[in-house]
């Protein structure tokens, strides 16, 4: 098991461009979370999936953000028409939920810089 994998690790984009990030969770984990972290802050929840169903989205997730987990395995997070305020570290985590919460394991993150 290689843990949670995120790609790319770094992304620099021009304002107005679209970007897509990928997260491959730990294989047997049914829950997958996306978080955003800015400098000096704790991770902020964006959305989570249980298998392929998106069960909750934060109000932080504007209509420019969309996330998918089409087959209940990997997930993608797309940001359309990026803005400078989108610059942050985007973290993915996965966990196994069987009626009780287990620990979430995080990937190394994708650092987005919008110029």
Partner 1 sequence: AQKVTQAQTEISVVEKEDVTLDCVYETRDTTYYLFWYKQPPSGELVFLIRRNSFDEQNEISGRYSWNFQKSTSSFNFTITASQVVDSAVYFCALIGTQGGSEKLVFGKGTKLTVNP
Q: Closest approach of Cβ 20 to partner 1, in Å? A: 20
Q: By CB under 8 A, tell whether 48 contacts partner 1.
A: yes
Rounded-to-integer distance, Cα 103 and Cα 106, Å: 10
Site for partner 1 in 22-41 (CB under 8 A): 33, 40-41
- Is 27 within 8 Å of 5 (Cβ atoms)? no
Q: By CB under 8 A, tell whether 92 contacts partner 1.
A: no
Between the alpha carbon of residue 93 and those of residues 3, 14, 26, 64, the distances in Å are 10, 27, 9, 21
If the CB atoms of residues 44 and 68 are measured against partner 1, the closer one turns out to be: 44
Q: Which of 17, 18, 62, 102 binds partner 1 (CB under 8 A)?
A: 102
DSSP state of 4: -
């Amino acid at each position: 098991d290689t843990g949670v994998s995120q790609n790319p690790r770094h992304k620099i984009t021009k304002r107005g461009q679209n970007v897509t990030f990928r997260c491959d969770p730990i294989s047997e984990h049914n829950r997958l979370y996306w978080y955003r972290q800015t400098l000096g802050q704790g991770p902020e929840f964006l959305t989570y999936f249980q298998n392929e169903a998106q069960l909750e989205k934060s109000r932080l997730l504007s209509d420019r953000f969309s996330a998918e987990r089409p087959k209940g395995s990997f997930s993608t997070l797309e940001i359309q028409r990026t803005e400078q305020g989108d610059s942050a570290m985007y973290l993915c985590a996965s966990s196994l939920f069987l009626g009780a919460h287990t620990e979430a394991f995080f990937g190394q993150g994708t650092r987005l810089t919008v110029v």
